[in-house]
Structure 1
């Protein structure tokens, strides 16, 4: 199967700027050293991840 040219799908072809991002909750937004919040059933979002997400918003 020949390789497809994906140039047409780049952000510049669809408005120029990135409008959405997706991140993985596990090990991306959390720190495994933090305990699980029993009320939420998950670890809290780390301060570094929160700051990075706010910086791109």
Structure 2
């Protein structure tokens, strides 16, 4: 997550404090549904897609 431009340690720490263990979720939409996490969760999704080559 820290490799995404504009995402710092405080943002990452706040995100994980809010959502907890990502393995507890079966789909990213479950995380986006948590109040205040939509923007960060979308950045994580984009980062994952970029690293896997799903986005051109």
Same fold (TM over 0.5): no
TM-score by length of structure 2 reads 0.26
Q: Which has the higher helix share?
A: 2
TM-score by length of structure 1 reads 0.26
